[in-house]
Structure 1
């Protein structure tokens, strides 16, 4: 059982990131969505360590933040950002019947390009304003956003007969697959509170707000489209990350 879970977790790592995995593992891509929040936590932890290293080298805050955001895109292969761009192009179409067709087009439109610029700009500016706790905020932002993705997969219909995100719904166990990521996020948040009890209340408030953002992002796209696609799954991740980082600039 442990080996099967490891093969599934490593499959999620190869799907959601650009990190290579040894071909000796028999990767199992079924139900990999359940591991998305865990991958987010690991990804954010890696970004946090890079950020910490750059800080030790006295790299200016803005430059450091820009490097982290670029690595964020690179390590995920732009998977979620591409989805956010396609979703923006689709939602810009006034005719609801044509939205899915536009989203399936590989050519990026004006609205998709603008959304990419906005997301990258907001993330960079927000990170620049966040000075303490970046080592915690980065993994939690990446983790909560992917938990929102799992929730969207579980709760809302998939709009395409065939698509790159269709297999995520196949065989999904509810509520177990939702609970895995949530339990990991609560555990990391609890560790943060344990190590920094003086800011326990603000940590809890941010965690609740982050959870709310993740839920609302998936709900928004369902309301606009009547369901989800692989592109909107990516959009949920990107916009949730962005709004959580913006939230963390607010002193609580």
Structure 2
């Protein structure tokens, strides 16, 4: 790939077109292959993460519907849907949540980033993964109606929360995958893209399922609040964000929103 020209003084660094960035976001955030001839670029892919989340959510809803038509029990198919989501994303966000949990378990703030950079998962990371997967599975199984809408909304809100965290909080490492995201982010238009997508999802949901307005409202308000609060809490604990905490923002926003939706 031909490198992009450097930015002039006082200008933001250039980035490729949206189609090339969409290809890069698919390769970065999932394990899905691209058709031949699609030339991906990775500069500025973060704003398209909610778009990828929407596509993944719709795909998982389709799998859930097919398994339900085959007569599979709700709890079993909920576990398969959550597990498939982890597989399709390559565990990217879950790994970040595990590393973040290991870092937050360290009492000395000066050593937290080093603990998060360790490739070996600690006890707190394993417990975080069990909690996330268990809560997601049980919450999804409890949603007798509207489970598809909540699942799609959770995947969009989680990734929108990541975009806000990239735009709003300092990046704590001198280099890394997260640094690329922050360097090519355009604020506020990039986080407004994901917000508009989330609002559109809830609008279509309310239009198609007027009997689920309470659930739509909980998902809308809860998703917005949780996406913002999760990133803010991690910033307060660490003084900024890393690529791992971006993943933790996605996972915990999804998990807590699914749990919150069971109140409806």
TM-score interval, smaller chain: over 0.9
Aligned residue in 2 for 1:226? 239
4+ residue stretches of structure 1 with deviation over 3 A? Answer: none
Matched, 1:71 2:81: no
Shift of the alpha carbon at 1:188? 1.2
Checking the alignment, whether the CA contact within 8 Å between 2:223 and 2:257 is kept in structure 1 is yes
* Gap runs ≥5 in structure 2: 1-15
Name the count of aligned residue pairs: 249
Checking the alignment, whether the CA contact within 8 Å between 2:43 and 2:184 is kept in structure 1 is yes
Aligned to 1:169, the other structure's residue is in SS state: helix
Matched, 1:146 2:138: no
Residues 65, 202 of structure 1: alpha-carbon distance in 2 compared, 3 angstrom cutoff: closer
Considering only aligned residues, what root-mean-square deviation do their CA atoms show, in Å?
Answer: 1.1
CA distance in 2, matches of 1:21, 1:112: 32
- TM-score w.r.t. the length of structure 2 is 0.92
Aligned pairs for 1:128-207 within 5 A: 128-207=141-220
Shift of the alpha carbon at 1:201? 4.5
Residues 62, 198 of structure 1: alpha-carbon distance in 2 compared, 3 angstrom cutoff: closer
CA distance in 2, matches of 1:173, 1:4: 14
Shift of the alpha carbon at 1:145? 0.3
Structure 2 counterpart of 1:106, from 104, 119, 130: 119
Shift of the alpha carbon at 1:136? 1.3
- Highest relative contact order (Cα 8 Å, sep 6+), 1 or 2? 1
Structure 1 counterpart of 2:42, from 23, 29, 34: 29
CA distance in 2, matches of 1:205, 1:71: 26
CA distance in 2, matches of 1:111, 1:198: 41
Q: After superposition, what is the alpha-carbon deviation per residue over 1:45-93, rounded to whole angstroms, capped at 9, x for unaligned?
A: 1000000000000100110111001101000000000000000000000
Shift of the alpha carbon at 1:200? 2.7
CA distance in 2, matches of 1:52, 1:76: 20
